[in-house]
A and B are shown apart, each in its own frame.
Chain A
Amino acid sequence: MDWISLLLVPAIKSLVVVVALLTGFAYLSYVERKLVARFQVRYGPNRAGPFGILQPISDALKMVFKEEIVPLNVDHVVYLLSPALTVMPALVIWAVIPVSGASFTLFGQTITPYVSDVNVGLLYILAIASLATYGIVLAGWSSNNKYSLLGALRTSSQMLSYELPMGITLVSVLLIAGSLSLVDIVQAQRGVWFALLQPIGFIIYFICGLAEAGRSPFDLPETENELVSGFATEYGGIKFALFFMGEYIHMITISALATTFFLGGWYGPFVNQIPVLGLVYFLIKVAFMIFLIVWIRASLPRIRYDKLMHFCWKFLLPLSLLNLVVTAVVLVLVG
């Protein structure tokens, strides 16, 4: 194995993924504002460029040129590091997500449609997703602000709690697919999507995904009516934009993982004849999941904090365990 396929190809693929995700984040903020506006019978941003499509660029410029304010008594290193710690895991997860089924050859190199096919992909995802909590907790702690600290405490307990049912649900997916590799999991859905075999699992995963990404109705980390802005209270300018980026890329990641685990990944009609369709189907499914998330944000109010914990520990966790047991028993009986 020469250095090109070992270093250069993964590096270029990572670059492509990161650039795609950052562009996706910028336009997701535009799309979300537009969608929420239409749900509220408004127009949404339509001033910058035709239909407001230059809005993300103007937002980004505004954020970059804002004054860098660092409050007096913050822990400097941690304060500046934590926004990056929030963005990094959401980006790194994408290393193992296959976006299409077909490899292609370019300059004599076989290019696979994923950065790497780790044989413990699912464990890798669960491990990296947990890291996202650190950024938020450290941000809340280093800000030296009560609102930030409360937001961070809530975030940590919420994310830790909701990781459990999510992990258990993914174990039932693992039981059916028989592999931890994401490529194998998608290929196991060639015939029938896991969303149909695991409807309860899909719903549990989706609810936990909302909670993990801190999306409404589980956006307790930044309850602006009681905690100002939660962990992000003391952050401004590009540092705040990084938190924002982390949240939105998380949203894309959760949608992509739901697509991979439950909605058949790149599979769809005629995908074997025309391999490019795989990427199209994948993007369509991700876009549908994102629309669903925004739709839920426009529909449901934020739930109370104790209800959030009760819902997770007294309902979702037993239900996901039950789902796992039933899946295992059925699999043994069917053979």
Chain B
Amino acid sequence: MLREVWSGSIEILRAMWITLKHFFRPPVTNQYPDDRVPVYPRFRARHVLKRYENGLERCIGCSLCAAACPTDCILVIAAENTEENRRSPGERYAEVYEINLLRCIFCGYCAEACPTEAIVLEHDFELSTHNRWDAIITQEELLEPHEPDYILIRDDQVWVEPKWGHLTK
């Protein structure tokens, strides 16, 4: 029994020593809305509709994204391009393009299905709204440029533990 008391006391002291060591460490918490964590360039969050360099929309209103979407959250209504109103290089453009973010699962199938690489998932991850209807984002919100200043992007360098290189040398 004495041994039990001794080993138990030692274990309690060890536990308390470990917590004391942690007590003097700086906190690891990110103070999120104040300190923002930069995302990687390949980070995939909210959709963006891309444009060509000359400003024309890439989207041709083919609805392949809507067909590929497993949750059926994309609505595309196409319209014919005319000489006076030319919005994309092809025959048609998307007159209505809406994504219901409450249904979207961010699988990226829409981006894979797109023949002109018009829709891609980009960096904006702050998607909360005060109103359910605001969760349905429209073409104006989707079209480029959409680079809000609260989204920080870090460089694409992958951090490798230094000693890894030394092992092979």
Report how far A42 CA is from B20 CA in the complex, Å.
Answer: 14
Judged by a CB distance under 8 angstroms, whether B153 is at the interface is no
Report the contact-size class of chain A (Cβ under 8 Å from the partner): 10 to 19
Q: Which of B27-35, B47-55, B119-127 forms contacts with chain A?
A: B27-35
Judged by a CB distance under 8 angstroms, whether B12 is at the interface is yes
B28 neighbours in A (Cβ, 8 Å): 41-42
CB-based contact B31/A299 at 8 Å = no
CB-based contact B22/A39 at 8 Å = yes
B27 neighbours in A (Cβ, 8 Å): 37-38, 41-43
Number of B positions contacting A (CB below 8 A): 15
CB-based contact A43/B15 at 8 Å = no
Selected contact of A300 from candidates B5, B12, B20, CB within 8 Å? B12
CB of B145 to closest CB in A, whole Å: 34
CB of A92 to closest CB in B, whole Å: 33
CB of B35 to closest CB in A, whole Å: 11
CB-based contact A295/B16 at 8 Å = yes
Query: In chain A between 26 and 47, which residues have their CB closer than 8 angstroms to a CB of chain B?
Result: 35, 37-43
Which applies to chain A's interface (DSSP): helix, strand, loop or mixed? helix
Judged by a CB distance under 8 angstroms, whether B168 is at the interface is no
CB-based contact B25/A299 at 8 Å = no
Report how far A39 CA is from B27 CA in the complex, Å.
Answer: 9
Query: In chain B between 1 and 54, which residues have their CB closer than 8 angstroms to a CB of chain A?
Result: 5, 12, 15-16, 18-20, 22-23, 25-29, 31
CB-based contact A299/B23 at 8 Å = no
Judged by a CB distance under 8 angstroms, whether A227 is at the interface is no
CB-based contact A43/B31 at 8 Å = yes
CB-based contact B23/A39 at 8 Å = yes
The 7 closest A-B pairs by CB, nearest first: A299-B19, A299-B15, A299-B16, A43-B27, A39-B19, A298-B19, A43-B29
Q: Given A37-B27, A39-B22, A295-B20, 14 more contacts at CB 8 Å?
A: A38-B22, A40-B22, A41-B22, A41-B25, A41-B27, A41-B28, A42-B27, A295-B19, A298-B19, A299-B15, A299-B16, A300-B12, A300-B15, A300-B16
